[in-house]
């Protein structure tokens, strides 16, 4: 975002932005870009330590920052967020908190844990959008940005539920974009590929596979905010050539090819396609 863009961003998305998953990685980069543009922030994350660090960096730009340490899989989490923002005019909601919190083959997994994956990626963002986007529509300005994933384009082992909810996010974002486009409320699903975030580094992904693109969180955030006015779905440019994005009649071979690449990314060499280790 250039300095010339900042007044327009404040008019469209200010005075407050809510960022779920705003403590590190892409979420923290969103926060820093918006703080530089003069937009006040509500940062939400589960761990208070990293959340506080990002909030302090954002405050250096002179704006207000509220920190909410909330577990977004907790049914009470949405009520906490609503209670903490009742006095604010929120012009932008960024939901960057979607993750695969239960990486297991479906029949071996825990249904309650899979439900948390659904709640984090579907139930909670829908509740927040329903709450914050209504006033945006009434004011005829605002924005909603949802972090998507290439996982939502193809099935993958130990990601059957996560891939399904990410496919839902894309179709939902397209429908919401249609409903709000005439009300000057921007909607975008920003589709991420492999990104060098702290979370992915903790998992131990192999980022050095020859020919595999890896995005930088700051680049992803800049691109996402630049594309937000154009909706409804944008794949981060570094991953625009990913084979998962191209429809093919042989879905079995496409899924197996993607699975083999995932094994390289995870640094393992399973002897059977069903031996895929969890990604996180």
Residue 190 lies inside a defined structural domain of this protein? yes
Residue 257 lies inside a defined structural domain of this protein? yes
Residue 187's DSSP bridge partners are: 144
Place of tokens 């959340």: 51
Phi/psi at 179 (5° precision): -70, -30
Structure tokens, 77: 């989490």
What pLDDT is stored for residue 205 in this prediction?
A: 61
Q: What angle do CA 231, 31, 3 make, to 5 degrees?
A: 75
User: What is the sign, positive or negative, of the torsion defined by CA atoms of 271, 276, 279, 280?
Assistant: negative
Residue 271 lies inside a defined structural domain of this protein? no
Residue 272 lies inside a defined structural domain of this protein? no
Residues 6+ apart with CB under 8 A from 158: 103, 104, 105, 276, 277, 278, 279
What is the CATH classification number for the domain harbouring 257? Answer: 3.40.50.720
Give the count of domains, the chain: 1
pLDDT along the chain (280 residues), means of 10: 69 97 95 97 96 98 98 95 98 92 93 96 98 98 97 88 95 97 98 78 63 87 97 94 77 73 60 31
Residue 188 lies inside a defined structural domain of this protein? yes
What pLDDT is stored for residue 32 in this prediction?
A: 98
What pLDDT is stored for residue 99 in this prediction?
A: 81
CA dist list (Å): 151 to 12, 71, 119, 163, 261: 31, 23, 17, 5, 12
What pLDDT is stored for residue 273 in this prediction?
A: 33
Residue 161 lies inside a defined structural domain of this protein? yes
Residue 53 lies inside a defined structural domain of this protein? yes
* Residue among 187, 185, 207 at smallest CA distance from 197: 207
* Residue among 60, 24, 61, 144 at smallest CA distance from 43: 24
**Contact in structure between 23 and 43 (CB atoms under 8 Å):** yes
What pLDDT is stored for residue 266 in this prediction?
A: 64
Host domain of residue 78: 5-266
What pLDDT is stored for residue 272 in this prediction?
A: 34
Residue 273 lies inside a defined structural domain of this protein? no
Phi/psi at 9 (5° precision): -65, -40
């Amino acid at each position: 975002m250039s300095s010339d863009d900042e007044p327009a961003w404040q008019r469209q998305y200010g005075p407050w932005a809510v960022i779920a998953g705003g403590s590190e990685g892409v979420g923290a980069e969103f926060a820093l870009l918006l703080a530089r543009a003069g937009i006040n922030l509500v940062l939400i994350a589960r761990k208070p330590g990293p959340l506080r660090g990002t909030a302090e960096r954002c405050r250096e730009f002179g704006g207000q920052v509220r920190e909410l340490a909330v577990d977004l899989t907790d049914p009470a989490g949405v009520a906490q967020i609503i209670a903490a923002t009742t006095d604010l005019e929120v012009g932008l909601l960024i939901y960057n908190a979607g993750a695969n919190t239960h990486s297991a083959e479906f029949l071996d997994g825990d249904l309650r844990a899979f439900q948390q994956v659904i709640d984090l990626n579907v139930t909670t963002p829908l509740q927040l959008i329903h709450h914050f986007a209504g006033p945006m529509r009434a004011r005829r300005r605002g924005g909603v940005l949802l972090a998507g994933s290439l996982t939502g384009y193809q099935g993958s082992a130990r990601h059957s539920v996560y891939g399904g909810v990410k496919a839902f996010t894309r179709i939902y974002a397209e429908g919401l974009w249609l409903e709000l486009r005439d009300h000057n409320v921007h909607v975008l699903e920003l589709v991420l590929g492999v990104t060098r975030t702290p979370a992915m580094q903790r998992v131990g992904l192999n980022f050095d596979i020859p020919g595999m693109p890896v995005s930088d969180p700051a680049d992803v955030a800049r691109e996402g905010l630049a594309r937000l006015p154009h909706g409804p779905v944008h794949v981060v440019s570094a991953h625009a050539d990913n084979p998962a994005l191209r429809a093919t009649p042989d879905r079995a071979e496409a899924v197996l090819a993607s699975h083999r690449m995932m094994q390289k990314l995870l640094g393992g060499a399973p002897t059977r396609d069903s031996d895929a280790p969890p990604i996180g």
